[in-house]
Structures are given as C-alpha cells and as structure tokens.
Amino acid sequence: MPLSEAQWEQAEPDDNVIALVYGFLESEKPTAYSIEEIFSQAEANVQSDSSSTWEDVGALLGEQSAEEQYRWAFEYLVHAGELEKRAVFDGGEKVEFYRAT
C-alpha cells in the first residue's frame, strides 16, 4: 500500500545497507573483515545479546539474512572509493576482505 504524505512524515527513517556497512567498517578502521566474518560475528552477538559495534549489523541480520544485499553494498562502496578490497587464498579458497579507506 502506498503511503500518503502524512504517513510518510510519521514513518521513521531507516538505515540502508550501504550506510550500515560503511558506518561499521569506518568505526572499525583500519581492521579488514570478510563478509563471512561479519555475518558470523553479528549472529553470535545477536544470540548472546551483546552490545557492541556489531549491534546494528546484528539487528539488520535479524530482520533479513540477505548476504547478497551485503555483497552488493560492499562492492558499491569499493566502486565509490569508500572501501578497499583485497583477496587472500586460505586453504585454496579465495576470501575477500574489505576495510574503510
């Protein structure tokens, strides 16, 4: 259902995935994380009710576990020059890491 202007004004602003990813990595600078590490740590903190820098990431994961949205956000931020991306091979498997510039 579409929102009227009045309903729009009453609705609360919500962070998009790109802003959430960038904000998290900016706060963790210069540490680099793989997407898998972020998902694992956020899920662990949601289960333990931990309050940390992972809180917002965990909250969003609780609503939508859409790893592809995160991948898209990371790649967009790399393209925009906001994140750096490096790849390492771990046991023959390519793992991509990202950090804020």
Would you say residue 4 lies in a domain?
Answer: no
* Band (79; pLDDT cuts 50, 70, 90): very high
Q: Which domain holds residue 77?
A: 14-100
Residue 78 contacts residue 88 (beta carbons within 8 Å):
no
> In total, how many domains does the chain have?
1
CATH number of the CATH domain containing 45: 1.10.10.10
Would you say residue 79 lies in a domain?
Answer: yes
Please give the pLDDT value at position 61.
54
Would you say residue 3 lies in a domain?
Answer: no
Please give the pLDDT value at position 30.
93
What's the pLDDT tens digit per position in 46-56?
Answer: 565 555 555 55
Alpha carbons 50 and 44: distance in angstroms, whole number: 8
Would you say residue 84 lies in a domain?
Answer: yes
